[in-house]
């Protein structure tokens, strides 16, 4: 049950943003075996004055940079995470056409007992 937050520079059309959702969801299903219809995602758009990035690690990024933060159960292996990073970059390259240099992903892990997905219950504790 990943929760994904995506930040990008404002001004992209709705179809572009929907393609990000679709490609990210497909990558999560492919690499982490996320169940069908397990989609919890948001996109936040930032104007130019509130969107800053650099060339850390020698990567030449552009204004098409997307920051993706994914929170998951703390049960994923390093191999699964590497596969997810690669699959996200691949699929976002296909649609909506984001360069791999502009795909910045972080994974945050939380113990299952730290999740409540509704009704005030700790469904996984």
- 99 CB-near residues (< 8 Å, 6+ apart): 62, 64, 93
**C-alpha distances in angstroms, 77 versus 13, 62, 73, 107, 109?**
35, 31, 11, 12, 11
Enzyme catalytic residues: 2
């Amino acid at each position: 049950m990943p929760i994904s937050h995506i930040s990008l520079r404002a001004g992209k059309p709705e179809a572009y943003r929907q393609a990000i959702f679709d490609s990210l969801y497909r990558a999560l299903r492919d690499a982490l075996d996320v169940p069908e219809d397990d989609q919890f995602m948001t996109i936040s758009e930032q104007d130019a004055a509130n969107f800053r990035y650099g060339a850390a690690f020698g990567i030449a990024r552009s204004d098409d940079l997307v920051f993706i933060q994914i929170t998951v159960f703390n049960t994923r292996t390093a191999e699964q995470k590497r596969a997810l990073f690669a699959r996200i970059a691949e699929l976002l390259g296909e649609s909506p056409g984001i360069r791999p240099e502009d795909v910045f992903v972080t994974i945050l892990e939380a113990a299952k007992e730290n999740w409540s997905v509704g009704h005030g219950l700790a469904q996984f504790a």
